[in-house]
Amino acid sequence: MKALLIVDLQNDFLPNGSLAVADGDLIIPVINELQHYFDIIVATQDWHPPQHKSFASNHEHKKAFDEIVLNGQQQTLWPDHCLQNSHGAALSSALHQEKICAVFRKGMNPEVDSYSGFYDNDKRNTTGLNGYLKEMGITRVFICGLAADFCVHFTAKDALSLGYTTYFVEDATKAINKDHFMVQKKMLAEEGVIFTTSEAIKKPA
């Protein structure tokens, strides 16, 4: 069984959002179309409290995109984004949501960031996504959404290490930093992530 995993398709990561990914809106029609080819569709949602330590605003003398060490881990500081219950945290209203059967929230612990849809960055807490997919009998996951070089990247890495056959739908994602993503892509491909396109998925096998 295969599942489509839609990562963080939230207003703050789209044009006019506080952490907008360039051209992020262009993938929404692609993802809406893709949904016809999956029975199980799940989403993740970045969901931060105001005191979240990934926000530059919660550190003195720091600005967005600075790097710090947070509880022993490298951390990029971000503009405030995806505040719980805010419009910015909502999934885009342009995204078809009728077939999304579960939404996994992440990033609630103010002390640790959570890029992957499976675990916090320190791997101490799980979101429950793995258990859900396992119970649904999913063995193949197709990952799309935002941002390619952060949450999609880390979700793909964890999916692979959890034993899923992992597909990265390249035309259904956009990166914050394209050069960063090109380096990551090479590494992910070497580790076994399969890069594919929505066109390939739509073609009958």
Is 106:127 a contact under the CB 8 Å cutoff? Answer: yes
Burial of 30 from C-beta contacts in 10 A (0-12 / 13-18 / 19+): middle
Is 101 catalytic? The answer is no
Q: Which is nearer to ligand VGL, 41 or 48 (CB)?
A: 48
Is 151 catalytic? The answer is yes
DSSP states of 139-199: -EEEEEEE-IIIIIHHHHHHHHHTT-EEEEEEEEEE-SSHHHHHHHHHHHHHHTPEEE-HH
Tell me if 143 contacts ligand VGL by CB under 6 A.
Answer: no
Site string for ligand VGL, 15-54 (x = CB under 6 A): -------------------------------x--------
Tell me if 80 contacts Zn ion by CB under 5 A.
Answer: no
Please choose which of ligand VGL, Zn ion, none residue 41 contacts, taking the beta carbon within 5 to 8 angstroms, the exact cut-off set by kind.
none
Q: Which is nearer to Zn ion, 55 or 142 (CB)?
A: 55
Give me the residue whose beta carbon is nearest to Zn ion.
46
Terminal Cα-to-Cα distance of the chain (whole angstroms): 15
Among 14, 28, 31, 46, binds Zn ion (CB under 5 A): 46
DSSP states of 42-109: EEEEE-B-TT-TTBGGGSTT--TT-EEEETTEEEE-B-S--BTTSTTTSBPTTS--TTEEEEEEE--S
Q: Which stretch binds ligand VGL (CB under 6 A): 35-43, 88-96, 134-142, 146-154?
A: 146-154
Tell me if 8 contacts Zn ion by CB under 5 A.
Answer: no
Is 8 catalytic? The answer is yes
Tell me if 150 contacts ligand VGL by CB under 6 A.
Answer: yes
Residue 144 β-bridge partners: 6
CB of 82 to Zn ion, least distance (A): 5
Return the sign of the alpha-carbon dihedral for residues 97, 107, 156, 196. positive
Q: Which is nearer to ligand VGL, 13 or 168 (CB)?
A: 13
Tell me if 147 contacts ligand VGL by CB under 6 A.
Answer: yes
Write out the catalytic residue numbers. Answer: 8, 106, 151
Q: Which residues bind ligand VGL (CB under 6 A)?
A: 8, 13, 46, 78, 146-147, 150-151
